[in-house]
Amino acid sequence: MFKPTVGPIIGHTTTNHARIFLRGKLQNNAPVFAGIRYRRLGEERWSQGVFAKLTILHDMSDVIALNNLAADTEYEYQAGWFSPMSPVHTVETVQELPLQWPRDIYRFRTQSSKAKIPRAYIVGSCRYLRMTAGVPSAPHLGDRIFASITNLAQQAEPPISAMLMTGDQIYVDDLNIIAPDREYKAILSKYRAAFSQPNIAKLMSGVPTYMILDDHEIEDNWPAKKSKADAYLYKNAITAYELYQASHSPAHELLASGQINRKLEHYWYQFAEGDIEWFVTDSRTRRNLSANDRRILDEEQEQALCKWLIHSRARVKFVVTSVMFYPDRKAHGDDAWKAFPEQRLRLLETIRTHRINNVFFVSGDVHGSLTSRLTHSADPDFEVHTIVSSPLCNSKLLPYAKASTFILDKPLARTAVGDYQHGLTSKVVSEDNFAHLTVDNEQIRINFHDRDGKLLQSTSIPLR
């Protein structure tokens, strides 16, 4: 067997289930299979291999589901791919073959079934990895921060439960002016290069990683500048996104057979860990830009989000939106929630009138990191927070955000019963960084670290 050409990537992981993405390679039209075997840390005997047949339709990749795992348990696993001599093999018959597995051993941990214990997460976005003629230019620059995240994850207590990548994991349009990528093969090549760099590959092989797209997975400020000719680009970009980012997420339902349902209804999804729940929105592909019903989330998604906010019993609710919920930018804010004030106000009023506590909006996009608190002038019980983490690696062509980037001297929204008022609860980080979130019984602590892992600043937000 050979090492995966991309991956393995640990995706959605629960107390008893884990999804692992990996890619092989086309072998002269011969059948190709990918496999995983695993065992509890400390055990000698490996499980029987779990296999999937790889096809060119999915760029020789697949997601293998491991089921019936034990909660709060560390597992070792090996992953690889091969092409058997006989063309008539199936995923069942290859289990009988005497395979020589790749030597690399990876580790992951299942969720704890305990509800009220401290948990920790990594949040980041906007990882620029420029490609020139199909080859990454100075890839170590776009990869170095992931070595720092891995180092933190290896020492963190409580352990890191997951990494949230909240948009712009790749830049399809990195050379948009000179040579824009529109072809499917070129976009796939970017994903392979971006996700196979050594540091990010090591991190994603052991830390469950949840992703959602933003505009650069398609085109800058998508879909505001969309033309008829962009239908071809969108089809290619979104197909690649589904393969490399959505495939290992909870957006795919798990069938009763233990296999993943390949049918994908939408890109937004939810997942939970104890008394903490996440709602990861798709704030990019379901936009309605018409003047009479502007929406950044489609109606179905807004209803699902409001229903979750109202009825979820989670003590802490994280809402991921790839673009900023607030504060608004003075310039270029029309690509974010600033341009959809009615829908934003509906969400805020839902939270306020239903007296929902501990709601945190998590986002990236702006190439600056911060925390901010939102209150209501006539309702002392209302409070929500935003946590922004961006970028993991900036382009020299793009500026970092600063405090002066944002509108901070005006209410976010005015209503008949009072104003929504906001202010920063941290400094604005204007360099490459990532966020380390720790949730305990009393507070959320947000630590921003630079690309070498150095602590830049720490903010604590009391839970209510």
Q: Report residue 334: phi and psi, to 5°.
A: -70, -5
Residues 63 and 130 in one domain: no
With vertex at residue 406, the alpha carbon angle to CA 403 and CA 412, rounded to the nearest 5 degrees, is: 130
Residues 6+ apart with CB under 8 A from 348: 374, 384, 413, 420
In the chain, % helix, strand, coil (3-state, to 5) comes to 20, 30, 45
Asked whether the predicted pLDDT for residue 391 surpasses 60, the reply is yes
Per-residue pLDDT tens digits for 232-247: 999 999 999 999 999 9
Closest CA to 452 of 157, 152, 168, 153: 152
Domain assignment of residue 292, yes or no? yes
Domain assignment of residue 42, yes or no? yes
Domain assignment of residue 229, yes or no? yes
Residues 99 and 128 in one domain: no
With vertex at residue 117, the alpha carbon angle to CA 116 and CA 123, rounded to the nearest 5 degrees, is: 110
Residues 230 and 203 in one domain: yes
Tokens of 81: 């791919």
Domain assignment of residue 1, yes or no? no
Closest CA to 429 of 409, 405, 460: 405
Task: Give me the CATH number covering residue 203.
Answer: 3.60.21.70
Predicted model pTM = 0.96
Per-residue pLDDT tens digits for 117-138: 999 999 999 999 877 666 777 7
Tokens 């990528």 correspond to what residue? 181
Among residues 109, 134, 154, the one where a domain terminates is: 109
Residues 301 and 433 in one domain: yes
Q: Where in the sequence is the domain holding 301, given as residue range(s)? A: 119-462
Among residues 76, 109, 142, the one where a domain terminates is: 109
Domain assignment of residue 114, yes or no? no
Residues 93 and 232 in one domain: no
Tokens of 298: 């489609």
Residues 74 and 137 in one domain: no
Burial 251-290 (b: 16+ CB within 10 A, else e): bbebeeeeebeeeeeebbbebebbbbbbbbbbbbbbbbee
Task: Give me the CATH number covering residue 26.
Answer: 2.60.40.10
Residues 221 and 343 in one domain: yes
Residues 433 and 329 in one domain: yes
Per-residue pLDDT tens digits for 182-234: 889 999 999 999 999 999 999 999 999 999 999 999 999 999 988 888 999 99
Asked whether the predicted pLDDT for residue 321 surpasses 70, the reply is yes
Domain assignment of residue 304, yes or no? yes
Q: What is the pLDDT of residue 131?
A: 72
Q: What is the pLDDT of residue 395?
A: 86
Residues 163 and 144 in one domain: yes
Among residues 80, 109, 138, the one where a domain terminates is: 109
Residues 232 and 278 in one domain: yes
The gap between the terminal CA atoms of the chain, to the nearest Å, is 52
The domain tally of the chain equals: 2
Residues 191 and 57 in one domain: no
Residues 332 and 396 in one domain: yes
Per-residue pLDDT tens digits for 404-453: 999 999 999 999 999 999 999 999 999 999 999 999 999 999 999 999 99
